[in-house]
Amino acid sequence: MSVQPPAPTERGILQFLAICDSFYPPDAVQASIEQQRHWYDALCARFDRPLPPEMIFADGMLQRIPIRRYRPRKISTRTILLYLHGGGFVVGSLESHHAICAEIADFAGAELVSVDYRLAPEYRWPAQTDDGFTVSKHLLSANSKVVLIGDSAGANLAAGLALRARDEGLSGVVGQVLIYPALGGDLAAGSYVEMAAAPGLTTADVAYYREILQAPAGNEIAEPLQAASLAGLPPAFITVAHFDPLRDDGRQYAARLTAEGVEVWFREEPQMVHAWLRARHMSEGARDGFRAVCEAIRRFAAA
């Protein structure tokens, strides 16, 4: 008798998962990198949305790194939002998170910079964190305050950038917003076992992405959960999905940050799956979760 893997029951998120499966097969990681990117781009286009009214955006280069700047109709803070997209370090681009970035910038009333960091396997670790750090150092050197934001693999990068900024004595990072982050947890324990076959992302998928990236095991920038100390980091907002093998990474990181004196806001979305940001306009749970993310970003940006 087969045991059904844990799954949500909310109608909106089930509809979201059905659409995702029609564009991005559950066994996508077995396909070529080129095919994975084609499927992912098509999926992202399916969930594309019109940008908020009067949103201005422009592509550019910062040193050798492609970026996209978003400027909403109303700017209420000089703090800059720095966004690092998800996609397992393998897929994703400025286009994949275009509407998400625009909506965040509009809600927060802040300029947002999205980073088109280099992807694996063409570029292995630390190319991704180095690209993000180059952009963040540039923004901080301009006497700007910065909020670091990322989802999934991008949240891994954001957490690592917060550690790098602290270790290099860079001031100005006023918050880190980690959305279902991958932080280097034990693949044989906790949610990696309980949610090994979760819809949207499996533990086998996580292992595949780690192998592709080839980051050194135990490196605290690549695996922030392995950091010797988290003291002195900026305040954090961390949100996880209950039906996600990455769930306990966020739980454990929030607990460690709190224990080491860092202010933390933590949410666990009870009906959500990995990548629920894309469901924000069709799922009640995703809509509430996205609003909480945006409110946290606005709060950090106003500090």
Catalytic annotation, residues? 152, 244, 274
Q: CB neighbours (10 Å) of residue 218? A: 9
Separation CA 276–CA 221 (nearest Å)? 25
- Residue-by-residue DSSP string for 15-58: HHHHHHHHHS-TTGGGS-HHHHHHHHHHHHHHT--PPPTT-EEE
| Residue whose C-alpha is closest to residue 243's, from 284, 202, 272 | 272
Please give the span between the terminal C-alpha atoms of the chain, in angstroms, as a whole number.
Answer: 55
Separation CA 86–CA 49 (nearest Å)? 18
Separation CA 149–CA 209 (nearest Å)? 20
Residue 10 CA: distances (Å) to CA of 3, 19, 67, 115: 20, 15, 36, 33
Preceding omega of 126 cis (within 30 degrees of 0): yes
Separation CA 3–CA 19 (nearest Å)? 24
